[in-house]
Structure 1
Amino acid sequence: MRAFLFALLTLALLPIAALAQQVDRPNTILVLDASGSMWGQIDGINKIVIARNVIAELLADLPEDTSLGLTVYGHRERGSCTDIETIVSPAPFTRDRILQAVNTINPRGRTPMTDAVVAAAQSLRYTEEAATVILVSDGIENCNPDPCAMARALEEAGVNFTAHVVGFDVAAEPEARAQMQCIAENTGGLFLTADNAAELSSALQQVVQAPIAETVTLQAVVVPGNTPPTRPITWTLLTQDGTVLSDGTPGPAITAQLVPGAYVARATRLEPTGPAAYQTAFTVVEGMAAPVLVPMPQIIDTVAVTFTARVEPDMTVPASPLRWTLFDASGATLLGPVDAPGGNVQLLPGDYRLSVERLSQGTVHEARFTVAAMTPQEVIIPLPALLVDVTFSARLDSADGVLITEPVIWEVTPMGDGGAIQPANPATVPLGRGAYRVTGYWTAQEVEQSADFVIVDQPREIVLVFEAPLPRATVTAPATAVAGSTIEVGWTGPNEQNDFIAVRAPDSEGFHRFVNSTRTDRGNPVQLLMPSEPGSYLVEYIRNDGRVALAAVPIEVTAVQASLTAPATAVAGSTIEVGWTGPDYQNDFISVRAPDSEGFHRFVNTIRTDRGNPARLQMPTEPGTYVIEYIEAQDRSPLAAVMIEISAVSASLTAPATAPAGATIEVGWTGPDYQNDFISVRAPDSEGFHRFVNTIRTDRGNPARLEMPSVPGTYVIEYIEAQDRSPLAAVMIEISAVSASVTAPATASIGSTIEVGWTGPDYNNDFIAIRAPDSEGFHRFEDSARTNRGNPARLEMPAEPGTYLIEYIEGQDRTPLAVAEITITQVEASLTAPANAMAGATIEVGWTGPGTDGDYIGIGRVGAQDGARWENYVWTREGNPARLEMPAEPGNYLITYFLSQDTTPLTSVPITITPVAASLTAPASAVAGQTIEVGWTGPDYPLDYIGIGRAGATDGAQWQNYTYTRDGSPLRLVVPTEPGDYVIRYFLNQEATSIAEVPLSVSAVAASITAPATAAAGSTVELGWTGPNYQSDFIGVGRAGATDGAQWERYTYTEAGNPLRLEMPDAPGQYVIRYFLGQGSTPIAEVPITLQ
Structure 2
Amino acid sequence: MTSLLKAAVAALALGAMGLPAIAEDRPGTILVLDASGSMWGQIDGVNKIVIAREVVADILADFPEEQNLGFVTYGHRERGQCSDIQTVIDPAPGTAADIIEIVNGLNPRGMTPMTDAVIVAAEALRHTEQAATVILVSDGIETCNPDPCAAARALEQSGIDFTAHVIGFDVRGEAEALMQMQCIAEETGGRFLTADNAQQLSEALQQVVAAPSAPSESPALSAAAELTLRAVMDGEDGPLVETPVIWTLSSDGESFEVDGNPGVAELHSGYWDVTGYHVALEQERSAQLAVVGGQQRNYAMVFETPLPTVSLVAPDSAAAGSVIEIGWNGPDESSDNIQIAPVGGRYLHYAYTRDGNPLRLQMPAQPGPYELRYSLRDREVIHTQPIEITPVELDIVAPETAPAGSVIEIGWIGPDASGDNIQIAPVGGRYLHYAYTRDGNPLRLQMPIAAGTYELRYSFRDREVIHTKPIEITPIALDIIAPETAPAGSVIEIGWVGPAASGDNIQIGPEGGRYLHYTYVGDDNPLRLRMPDEPGAYELRYSFRDREVIFTRPITVTE
Q: Which has the larger radius of gyration?
A: 1
Alignment TM-score, normalising by the size of structure 1: 0.24
More helix by share: 2
Point out which structure has higher relative CO (alpha carbons under 8 A, 6+ apart).
Answer: 2
